[in-house]
Structure formats: C-alpha cells, structure tokens
Amino acid sequence: MKKVLSTAAILAATALPLMAMPVGSAHAADDVTTYETQGDFEDVAAEVNDAIVNQGYVVDYHGFIGDMLKRTAEDVGSDKVLYENAEFFQFCSAVLSRKVMETDIGNIAYCPYVVFVYEAKPGTVTVGFRRLPAGGGRDEVNTLLEGIAKSATGM
C-alpha cells in the first residue's frame, strides 16, 4: 500500500534541515564561494541572469527560494525570517559538462550549475555558488561560475 504524505509533512521533512543550516558566508561550507555587494536586490539578480546569458548560456530555471521559505514557514512551525529575498539561477554548458563527464561519468552530480543570490539584510546582496572539487575539468566550471558571480557583483 502506497502511503501519501501531506504537503505539510513533505515540507517539514525537507525544509527543516535546510532552515537549520547556517546563513552567511562566515558560516557557509568551505565549498561555497560568495561575493557581497551593496545595492538593490532585483538589480543584482538581473545582473546574475545577464552574466549567465552574456556567457552564451540559457537560464534553464530561475528559482525563488526566499518566496518558498516565506510561504512555508508556518507549515514547518517557524516564524524566523531568513532572507529578505533569495533566488537561484540554474544553467548548463554542453561543452564543459561533456568535458567533465567524459573525464568521469560520475561528474553528472555537478550538473546543472547554480548561481544563487540573496539579501539577508536590506542593501547587502550576496551572490555565490558551490565550488566543484578540483581536477577532472571541474576547475573550468569553477572559473566560469566565479566569473559570473564577480560580474554580477561588479568585481
């Protein structure tokens, strides 16, 4: 017999561990690279999108993490505001993805690529990405992601 879980149960099971994760570059995992800039969140998010597109890629998915967390806070029993705004942009590179997967087919785990942008306090916007482990062509992916994050923050 198949058990059907309610939306609240699913959200509680998946969102609570995420909400317990530390926020901010001082607490982020060693594999997360972030850059901060001062400005309007919507402008910086648009810069992230443009930086991806200007590299010749298509944003496959634009996710609104902040909206989801706000919408589901009550469902998971939280009233803590984590972000003023938080979004991510997902894309892929056929050339780089093929290169790293030809080196090791297990590198499928790193595709697609994600660049995130968030505003935890008004006026300070953070842009970042998860750095792939070194080697096997993954350094080129890290260079690409770093270039996009730096471009979006004016660095």
Q: Tell me whether residue 88 is exposed, middle or buried, using C-beta atoms within 10 angstroms of its C-beta: 0 to 12, 13 to 18, 19 or more.
A: buried
- Predicted model pTM: 0.78
Mind listing the domains of the chain with CATH numbers? 7-153 (3.30.310.70)
What DSSP letter does each residue of 114-145 carry, written as one string?
Answer: EEEEEEEETTEEEEEEEPPPSSTTHHHHHHHH
pLDDT one-digit tens code per residue, 4-44 = 444 444 444 444 333 333 334 445 678 999 999 999 999 99
pLDDT one-digit tens code per residue, 40-95 = 999 999 999 999 999 999 999 999 999 999 999 989 999 888 999 999 999 999 99
